[in-house]
Each structure stands twice: as structure tokens, then as C-alpha cells.
Amino acid sequence: MRTVTFHVSRAGLLLFGVLCILLSLKLSTYRFGASDFSEMIDSGWRIVSGQVPGRDFVCTFPPSFYLFIATMYRHFGVTWHSLALGEALFFAVLCLLGWRLTGLLRSVLGTTDTFFVFLFYFVGQMIPLISINMPWHASIAQSIACYAILTTFVLLKRENPSTLLRVELFLHLTLGLIGLILSKPNTAYPPILLCLVLLAMARTPKWLVWGSLAASLVAASVVLSTAHISLLGMLDGYRGLSGRLVPHPLVYGILLNRPGVPAIIGLANLCVYAMIAPVLTLFGLTYWRERHDLLKRPLDLLALGACATGILGMATNFDLKLTDTPLVLLGIALFSVTGASRALLIRRRLIWTTLPLVYFCFLTGTTRQRGQTIGLWANEDCGARITLHDPFFGTFHNCAVFGSVMQEADRTLASGPADQRVFFGPDLEFMYARNRIVSPLHLPLWWHPGTSYPLGHLAEINRAWDEDRFDTVIFVHDLRANTPQAIQDELRDKYVQVPGTELIDVYKPRALQPAAIQ
């Protein structure tokens, strides 16, 4: 590739990235997926309100997620569009960092290989932007892992860099490690170990390797202290999460009859597997043939580790598997540029894999599949669609029933005192931030045993719900998904459902209601 073509091609990718940002911001105004996004909204709202994870509420989200949400609220306001803008900025920053890092490879890889690496790094960052449009903890971990692995690749590939360049790469590595320390452990912690071990094996200067680790631990502690959390407290929050540790079936909805999981998720996952299977197979066979003296080839080990981490994400994340492909794509791309004998065939296969994958990404994003599969009010069967004008969501396009749910909840809240204690059930957690209501203390962000809270804490959670003594309890009509039985018993014994709503179920303390209602 000629030098001019190289620069024009990279600039073209950045321009395409700007168009992707505009598309993502537009797509974010369609179809609210209540599940997942509700607790996302509430997590940042709690931080902004002064609550402390682990002390004031049960939190199993990684700090990179809820602190990022809170930061967007503080700078751009407590609105839905702040979160969409945050995802766009996150994408832009990581793309620019990747632009710089791959530029450092040009002198050792040449223009063609350098552009090839940047192309697949860029695609990996683009996938969550288009398919989700919102920050999400699994995709944050994937994106930062790609950045850290690319940094490690540059460190391994650039021999005898200048002191100034080493300092720059030290800062890149430190920044990547900070992000990984604060991110979702299943796909963030393996890359930490991978990068540090391989750099140590390659005899990278000790001050750079272990200095970056020490600096990242200190910096991560400082970041956590802004929310009154410690590193040990963060790690303790992951303890007892059996639902996060056991690999889940890689296909939902088709090969496994899992209640509540739409078949479209299984179909989408099968499409992703069908697209990546050929290049993964070729990668595996090539790797096996060249397995001799593997410990002497840290670049190949780095590529293998990236792919393995991506597959681990597919096995342990609940999300659509499309968002777990970035590390796989980057790992194979790095593998293809480290050996001339393997380059041509693997590159062709990788390109023919990525083209339909990118098309599928845009198809998933423009149809808002992520919102449809997790939202009561976003699927194709939710009725007529309207344009809403809401103080939190802004101008938003969704099913009419979604607006009606919020209107009924608003009327219910308006009928009570301003200082009433309110509990919103599953899929309605976003209402705390929307209505600027203090979120309840000592309860999980959402209700999923073994995932949103350790099973061993159930008795404490039940007791906390009882002690909160809510004045108003609101559920989506006939929806008690995963709500502990003890809380449902408490609701039946000490509360009474009040009439006047169709789309939500409203409960008030039984002792305060007229005898006619009781």
C-alpha cells in the first residue's frame, strides 16, 4: 500500500466513524429496552445521589460501568441522551488511541499490515456502538481489552524504542490496565494477566511492565475513591455470584428451551457463529501446525489469548454474542501479520468473515434488536408507535403503551406526598432517575439471583425490603420476574393493591387504606 493510500484510508475510516456516531445517536432515540437499561440508568443515578455501592445498595456491576454513567450524568445531565452521547465519546476516544498506536507500527509492519490491524481494531470498536448504542459493561470490557492488547502488541513489536516512545507506551499500557481493573472481570482480568506475562517473557524493561501495573492500581484506587469505594471493596462485590462464574449455553432460544429468552436471540447467535466459524477453524488449524516453540513467540500467544478471551465472553455473557467478537477479530488480525506464510489465506478468510458480520451489526442496530429482545415495550407486538416528548428520554420513538405506563406512574406519584418512599419493580428501575426519586437502600439494582446479588445475601435483602417500609410500590402489571418469594409474601400480607391503573400494579400499606379497599 502506498503511503498516500495508507493515510487516505485511515482518514476514511475515521470519517466513517463519525457517520457511525451520528447513526448511533439517531438509533438511540428508538425502542427502549427496559430490562438491563433500567438498572443501567439507576446505577449512575445512585452514584450521583451520593449512594455508595456495597454500602447503600447491592451492586455487582463493575465500576467502569456505573462510574461512567454517573460521569455522563454530571457533565451532560440526567437524561437518556447523555448515555448515548457517552457511548459515542467512548468510541471516539478509543478509535483515536488506536489510530495513534497503529501509527507506531508502520515502521515495523509496513503500511498494508498496519492498516489491516487498524481496520479490525476499528471494526471491533464499532460493533457495540452500532448494535447497542449505549454503554454496557460487557462491551466496555471488550473495547478496553482490545486497546490494552493492541498496546501490548506494539510494545512487543517495537524493539529498542526511544525513551520518549517508551514513556508514551507506558502511559498507554497504564491507561489500558486502569480500564481493565475497573471492568467486568470475565473479559477484563484475563487480558491483564495475558499482557503482563507476555511482556515479562519478552524481557520488556521491568520498570515499564511492573511500573504500569503499580501505577494502574494506584490510579484505579483514586478513581474508586471518588465514589467512596476501595479496590478490595470492588472485588468483594463480585464474591458469591454463581450466575456469573458458570459458563452459560452459547446459544439461547434454539438449542436450549430457556423460558423468557426470545428465539430471535438464539437465531442471532447462530448467525454470528456461522460467520466466525470458518476463520476460527483456519486460525486453530494454523496455530496447531505452528505450535512448536510457542513460548518463544509472544506475539502469537497474544493473538491466541485475545481470541480465547473473546470466546470466554461468549460463554459467560448474557448479551448477544455479536458484541463478544471484537477480541476474536483483533486476535486473528494480529496473528495474520506476524507470519508471512500464513498471512494471505487468513486475511482473505477474515475479510470474508467481517463483511457479513458488519452487515449483521448494522442490521441488528437499525432494527434495534437489542432493545426488542430485552424490552416489554420495544418488540414488534407492543402495539402502535408514537413519538414521545419526555423530560428524561427527550424526543423518543416507542410503543404508545410505554408512554402510558409512565403516565400512570406519574399520576400515582402525584397523588402521594412529595417525600413518599417508593419502590419500582422489575423493568421500572429507570423511574427513579427519570422522576428524581431517591433509590431505595440496601437492595440490588435488579432482581436476578446469583447475578444481581449473591444467593447468600437473600435473607438480608428480604429484611432490608421490609425495613424500608415503602409508601408506594409499583410493578408492571402482572410482572414479578425473579422477585424473591419473601418479598411477594410481604406484599400480599402488608400491602393492598389500589384501583385506578391498568398497565401498572400499585400497592399501598394495608394499614393506611380504607376498609373498602382492604
Count Cβ neighbours within 10 Å for each residue of 12-42 and write b for 16 or more, e otherwise: ebeeebeebbebbbebbbbbbbbbbbbbbbb
Tell whether the torsion through CA atoms of 122, 128, 131 and 132 is positive or negative: negative
pLDDT at residue 246, as a whole number: 53
pLDDT at residue 430, as a whole number: 96
Is residue 431 included in any domain, yes or no? yes
Q: Which three cell numbers stand for residue 507?
A: 400497592
Is residue 313 included in any domain, yes or no? no
Instruction: Determine the 3-state secondary structure of 497 from DSSP.
Output: strand
Instruction: Determine the 3-state secondary structure of 28 from DSSP.
Output: coil
C-alpha to C-alpha distance for 518 and 515, rounded to whole angstroms: 5
Q: Collect all residues with Cβ–Cβ distance below 8 Å to 122 and sequence separation of at least 6.
A: 13, 17, 95, 98
Is residue 203 included in any domain, yes or no? no
pLDDT 10s digits, 98-135: 999 999 999 999 999 999 999 999 999 999 999 999 99
Q: What is the pTM of this model?
A: 0.94
Domain that holds residue 449: 385-512
pLDDT 10s digits, 59-72: 999 999 999 999 99
Q: How far is CA 215 from the centre of its chain?
A: 25
Find residue 498's DSSP bridge partners: 506
Is residue 485 included in any domain, yes or no? yes
Is residue 505 included in any domain, yes or no? yes
Closest CA to 54 of 218, 232, 183, 316: 232
pLDDT at residue 429, as a whole number: 96
pLDDT at residue 38, as a whole number: 93
Instruction: Determine the 3-state secondary structure of 395 from DSSP.
Output: strand
pLDDT at residue 344, as a whole number: 81
Q: Could you tell me if 129 and 136 are in contact, meaning their C-beta atoms sit under 8 angstroms apart?
A: no
pLDDT at residue 251, as a whole number: 59
The sheet carrying 504-509 orders its strands as 422-424, 472-476, 504-509, 495-498
Is residue 362 included in any domain, yes or no? no
Q: Which three cell numbers stand for residue 388?
A: 414521545
pLDDT at residue 292, as a whole number: 80
Kindly list the averaged pLDDT for each block of 10 residues, start to end, along the chain of length 518: 88 96 95 87 97 94 96 97 97 97 93 94 97 93 98 93 93 98 95 96 91 97 95 86 57 55 75 92 88 82 95 84 94 88 82 94 88 74 84 92 94 93 95 96 91 89 92 93 90 92 94 61
Q: Collect all residues with Cβ–Cβ distance below 8 Å to 262 and sequence separation of at least 6.
A: 253, 372, 373, 379
Report H helices in 77-203.
80-103, 106-131, 137-157, 163-181, 185-201
Is residue 81 included in any domain, yes or no? no
pLDDT 10s digits, 415-426: 999 899 999 999
Q: Which three cell numbers stand for residue 172?
A: 498507554
Percentage of the chain beyond pLDDT 90 is 69
pLDDT at residue 253, as a whole number: 47
pLDDT at residue 264, as a whole number: 73
pLDDT at residue 249, as a whole number: 52
Closest CA to 246 of 38, 449, 456, 64: 449
How many domains, the chain? 1
pLDDT at residue 261, as a whole number: 60
pLDDT 10s digits, 468-505: 999 999 999 998 878 999 999 999 999 999 999 999 99
Is residue 190 included in any domain, yes or no? no
Q: Collect all residues with Cβ–Cβ distance below 8 Å to 66 and sequence separation of at least 6.
A: 43, 44, 46, 47, 53, 59
